[in-house]
Structure 1
Amino acid sequence: MTVKDTALFTLPIGDDGSLICTLPADRVYLLTFTSPPDNRLVTPLCQALLLALDIIELRHRPGVVVTTSGIQKFYSNGLDLEHAESTPGFWAESLYRLWRRVLV
């Protein structure tokens, strides 16, 4: 981390993952997520991203958000369909809510 690359906050993702928000430049918020083994879209990852966006919006100056993976091989290996189908409320409360937030 450089002097400008200030860590703002860290959020847990499930039992063994994390989301770190840094400020690499003025008004640039970098969200680095690590949700082993391959950053699949599951409830804990979606909820951590939603919370991070809320924190940035409510506690920091307007700017841009950039996302990246802390896992070198994968940005995300996509939707975990088994999790999505077996988790009540996943579609509306996690995945679609995240998509809506990112698009708006």
Structure 2
Amino acid sequence: MHELSITQSLVEAVLNRTGNRPVTSVNLRIGPLSGVLPDAVRFCFELVTADTPLADAALIIDEPQGLALCRSCRNEFALEDRFLLCPCGSADVEIVSGRELAVTSVEVA
């Protein structure tokens, strides 16, 4: 499960910015095409933050929709997975959003 190492890196990044101040919430943005499972991050967050200033922090994950633009018909359409095929049948598509994996904000006490 690579989500454990990703979550550890996210927590380390937050701790580097907040130091020993208690953190009340961490907001993440995880797109469906990022290859990261939000539920696995939720599970790992609890493990990784134990005995840290983030131990009681709420984890809030925004899960934006994946979007692609068809280069053939110029139609923008939703992506639920990595199957990059426009409803028109073209595979010539550009991913517009859905690959996000970022800490968007942190709230400290």
Tell me the TM-score range normalised by the shorter chain. 0.3 to 0.5
More relative contact order in 1 or in 2 (CA 8 Å, sep 6+)? 2
TM-score, with structure 2 as normaliser = 0.32
TM-score, with structure 1 as normaliser = 0.33
Task: Determine which structure has more spread, i.e. the larger CA radius of gyration.
Answer: 2
